[in-house]
A and B are shown apart, each in its own frame.
Chain A
Amino acid sequence: MIKLDVKNIIKTYDGKEVLKGISFEAKEGEFVSLLGPSGCGKSTMLRIICGLESPDSGNIIVSGKEITSEKPEKRNIGMVFQNYALFPSMNVAKNVGYGLKMQRVPKDEIAVRVSETLNLVHLGGYEKRPVTRLSGGEQQRVALARALVVKPDILLLDEPLSALDRKIRGEMQYEIRNIQQKVGITTIFVTHDQEEALTMSDKIILMNGGKIEQTGRPWDIYNHPESNFAADFLGKANLLHGELQTAADGTKVVSGRGWKFAAKTLLPDGAVQIAMRGEQFGISLESTEQAQAFIIRQKIFVGTTCKLLGTIGEDVLEVSAISADMEKFSIDDTVYLTIKPENVLCYRED
């Protein structure tokens, strides 16, 4: 069943079109990410869904009911803000219970539901604490509890993890997803972090410049990006310019400045742009027929993987290797790279 239906939303600020006709839908209980670089319009989209902004045209439909011109306080949509937006003058229980108080729920019932929800976010017993004394992660959980306690139709998360440090961010990714599944609430998650979107979502909506670039499941969108923007944004890809040619046996080959890769594509011959992910290269110390010579110029240790920066022909390439193998390679060495044809993604030159 379709819970949220967004239809052709257009929004302009000072004559600049920030949303150029956005349409998407979210099923009951689905976790949908709006992913894109800053300024792509994803936060504006979220503010339109909850009614803090109104669109120039288009419709927002929740559970089959049109709410485009409904006031925000009448929409029953929960939201967790980037900076949590807790009420500094109230303690944890008052913050979480605020929405219930607005619904005129009796006091004893508020107390019960508040402590249930605090338990859900692992903050049992925090009721009396002032929110100003909580850590970032705890404030985050309070904000989540406050949004969930009123049982909203839809939960909106506006970059809720960006203010947390790396370790807590990882925990909260897991935690939020866990709670979301337990409650079964339809969730729209805004982020500019492709890793967050890939690990948490059922569906990713990739946005760029006020338009949707691509929609799909994380696995599909990562492995079959439909544009070079998508390929580059979902995990940094090497973008190279080349010439696509069909060989006599029907196989396709892209050749550039001193390099040549076999590719699988339906594009006609001609100038193309190709995208190759660093982790999809095979690295060998010996030359084979298909392999391309790669001269290592720099090694960068990143943790479990290491990046090898170097050149193939006249172009620069970034290749990922497992850190355990790092010692095998030294700077100015020549190694040989192979890549499967289906991992050489071709796009028309634009």
Chain B
Amino acid sequence: MSKGLKIFLKIWMFLGFAFLYIPILVIIIMSFNGTAYGMFPFKFTLEWYPYLFTKSELLPAAVLSLKFSLTVAVSAIIVGTMAAFGMQSMPERFRKGLNSAFQLPITIPWLVQGVSLLLILNLLGIGRSYFGMFCGNVICVLPYVVMLVLGRFAMADRTPEAAARLLGAGPVRVFFDITFPMIVPGVLAGGMMAFIVCFNSFCIQYYLAPFGVRTLPVEVFTLIKTGYKADLNALAALMIMISLAVILLLNRMGYSGTSLFAAGTKKGKMHHD
């Protein structure tokens, strides 16, 4: 590779990163801006942070969204892991067919899914409700969990399970002692995906939330229509900090982005030398 090309690629890479991170940086900076609507002149202030925790309507919505997404993620982990565990034990052609059927909903626009779910829930007489919103979101995030857990099964070495059987462990024991620890990275990754997707799923929540209940995406949407204060920026900045902390913590525990979402893990991989 020529030197010129190398420099060019390096600049290109920095441009890519800038494209990703400048908007986030701007949000963080704007959370310290005293002028309303993120306008200039920039006046440094810390007032939006106390405001967020006292007067703002955003915080209750954020807490609701966090609780709700956590419930959805945990439910999706349980259902999705069980589904993946069942699927991996099937003959290959069934598994492939089922897997495609599971992945297909990812391609269906949420707008369509939201409307159709509302239709069905209305027909069933459930209508807009917490239960409906919960089911809708679980449906949306389930494919991610199944995909990531199943991927983990596919790349895992299955002989330790056979070894445990021969040492006297029954199938249930083997699952909890050997199989589950083996797929934990996949389950964690699936749970994270489920949480993030649910936290963001405006369409489903907009259609299915009970009247008067506003999750964070719905609240933000309402605020943007009416004109928002910089407390939204403060909330965004806080959320970025929390996500960063979670990622750092996971890295400390030995899970990197690649080990959770792709092949070649740090944990659980034996080196032969």
Contacts and interface: CB of A to CB of B under 8 A. Distances in A.
User: Are A and B part of the same complex?
Assistant: yes
Nearest to A76: B168
B172 to A, nearest CB: 11
Contacts of A78: 166
Contact of B181 (A83, A89, A103, A136): A89
B6 interface: no
Interface in B119-161: 157, 159-160
A83 B157 contact: yes
Interface stretch (B214-222, B235-243, B264-272): B264-272
Given A132-B270, A136-B273, A87 B164 contact: yes
B181 A81 contact: no
A88 B273 contact: no
Interface in A47-88: 50-52, 71-79, 81, 83-88
Contacts of B164: 87, 98
A77 B269 contact: no
Interface string A275-313: 000000000000000000000000000000000000000
Interface in B165-186: 165-170, 173, 177-178, 181-182
B263 interface: no
A188 to B, nearest CB: 13
Interface residues of B, number: 24
Contacts of A132: 267-271
Contacts of A150: 167-168
Contact of A52 (B165, B173, B270, B273): B165
B163 interface: yes
A86 B269 contact: no
Contacts of B268: 88-89, 132
Nearest to B173: A102
A81 B168 contact: no
A83 B169 contact: no
Nearest to A104: B168
Given A99-B167, A99-B168, A102-B173, A87 B178 contact: yes
Contact of B162 (A71, A81, A143): A81
B168 A102 contact: yes
Interface string A87-113: 111000000001100110000000000
B168 A85 contact: no
Interface residues of A, number: 34
A73 B270 contact: no
B167 A163 contact: no
Nearest to B165: A72
Contacts of B267: 88-89, 132
Nearest to A136: B272
Contacts of B170: 71, 73
B168 A84 contact: no
A86 B168 CA distance: 15
Nearest to A84: B270
Contacts of A163: 272
Nearest to B268: A88
Interface string B232-273: 000000000000000000000000000000000001111111
B237 to A, nearest CB: 37
A77 B163 CA distance: 10
A132 B269 CA distance: 7
Contacts of A147: 166
Given A78-B166, A146-B167, A150-B167, A88 B159 contact: no
3 A-B pairs with least C-beta separation:
A102-B168, A99-B167, A85-B159
Interface of A: 50-52, 71-79, 81, 83-89, 98-99, 102-103, 131-132, 135-136, 139, 143, 146-147, 150, 163
